[in-house]
Structure 1
């Protein structure tokens, strides 16, 4: 299986790449010319490294990259500093999702391509009308105005949920929603929920990046998991946290 990953140089993206190549899959990644990636990736027989800025590629260029890919995963996120939060591009994730979807449509092979988006538990799945308290609604409205990456995460998931929808012939999708991200050396037990059982703002849970990578890899490679969650926005938590 050949999988395209954007955001591969990030903390979660690197873990996803490693898990997929260890399982024997081919991986294509686009990373900025100055991005840090492990030296071993540059000459790895299961990794194709493309040095480019994805936002500067056009649909046809990206379609050529995706032509032999059966799945796409986005681990893109805004760098947690002032420039990353308030600088451009404000719609980093949303624009990448739209570009990738259009490129998939231009390179459609007849079988739907899987699209896995790393999102956030702070974003509600409005297909399910998930219960949100008035307090949380007010705070989320302020966060949406004052912290651009949150609105970007919402819009990226909504692009898949609304624009692509549940019955698209060329694209199937899952938006994975971790809560507060943590680092861990090894995969641990974790739980997957249809909706958050807790308030992501006032009672957040924890999710290790390595567990997120494990679940994303399972979605891509395990048909039973894919069929269970496609078209949904599952929430992932470290178990007992």
Structure 2
């Protein structure tokens, strides 16, 4: 099983790569700077590094890098700086998702390739009934106007939901929605829901990045987990321990 990961040098992406390597999988990563990866990842014999910006690859190059992969995972996101939020490319996640799916189709895989997208609880799954308060609707409307990365996340998931859909014979997908991301050193217990159980704006929960990486790896490597969440947008929360 070979897995392609984009956004592998990010705070969550590197944790996903480590989880997959721990499972003995062969991993390809597309990164602009290999030095951004931790040494323990770079030195792993099961890792192949493609040094490039994912959106600068030609269609032929993209198809070649996707060829032979049973899964593709995207942990792409915008850098939290003025240039990262308001500069180009504003549709980084959406355009990468679109191009990676096209590359999968070019290779005409005999079995559907898993596409796992890291997303956000700020994005609603319009295939489900996910009601939100009027106040949250207003805040999300402002975010769409003021924060291009929020729109990018919405459009990336909508592409999978509406353009790939539920019955594609070449691509299966799942869009993982963590809540407020935090850094912890180890995988802990976490809970999964089809839809948010709390307000992402006014009552956000916490989700460890390493738990997101663990769940994404489970989706890729565990067929039972995949069957449960394929075509859905599962929400991940750290389990609250009541003492």
Q: Please give the TM-score of this superposition, normalised by the length of structure 2.
A: 0.97
After superposition, what is the alpha-carbon deviation per residue over 1:11-47, rounded to whole angstroms, capped at 9, x for unaligned?
Answer: 1110111111111000000000475112344443100
Q: How many residues align?
A: 241
After superposition, what is the alpha-carbon deviation per residue over 1:152-182, rounded to whole angstroms, capped at 9, x for unaligned?
Answer: 0000000000010001110000000000100
2:228 equivalent to 1:228:
yes
3-state SS of 1:122 partner: coil
Match of 1:14 in 2: 14
- 1: CA distance between counterparts of 2:156 and 2:233? 12
Match of 1:136 in 2: 136
1:42-53 alignment, distance < 5 Å: 42-53=42-53
After superposition, what is the alpha-carbon deviation per residue over 1:96-148, rounded to whole angstroms, capped at 9, x for unaligned?
Answer: 00010000001122100000000000100000131111111111011011011
Match of 1:164 in 2: 164
1:87-166 alignment, distance < 5 Å: 87-166=87-166
After superposition, what is the alpha-carbon deviation per residue over 1:77-104, rounded to whole angstroms, capped at 9, x for unaligned?
Answer: 0011111111111001000000100000
RMSD: 1.1
- 1: CA distance between counterparts of 2:24 and 2:228? 23
The verdict on how the C-alpha distance between 1:85 and 1:15 changes in structure 2, with shifts beyond 3 A counting, is same
Say which is worse superposed, 43-52 or 191-200, in terms of deviation. 43-52
- 1: CA distance between counterparts of 2:229 and 2:200? 21
Runs of 4+ residues deviating >4 angstroms: none
Question: Where do 5+ consecutive residues of structure 2 fail to align?
Answer: none
1:156-235 alignment, distance < 5 Å: 156-235=156-235
Say which is worse superposed, 51-60 or 22-31, in terms of deviation. 51-60
3-state SS of 1:191 partner: strand
Match of 1:78 in 2: 78
Q: Please give the TM-score of this superposition, normalised by the length of structure 1.
A: 0.97
Match of 2:56 in 1: 56
Q: Do 1:31 and 1:53's aligned partners in 2 also have CA atoms closer than 8 Å? A: yes
- 1: CA distance between counterparts of 2:40 and 2:213? 19
- 2: CA distance between counterparts of 1:65 and 1:27? 11
Match of 1:23 in 2: 23
The verdict on how the C-alpha distance between 1:136 and 1:183 changes in structure 2, with shifts beyond 3 A counting, is same
- 2: CA distance between counterparts of 1:234 and 1:53? 28
Q: Do 1:59 and 1:106's aligned partners in 2 also have CA atoms closer than 8 Å? A: no
3-state SS of 1:84 partner: helix
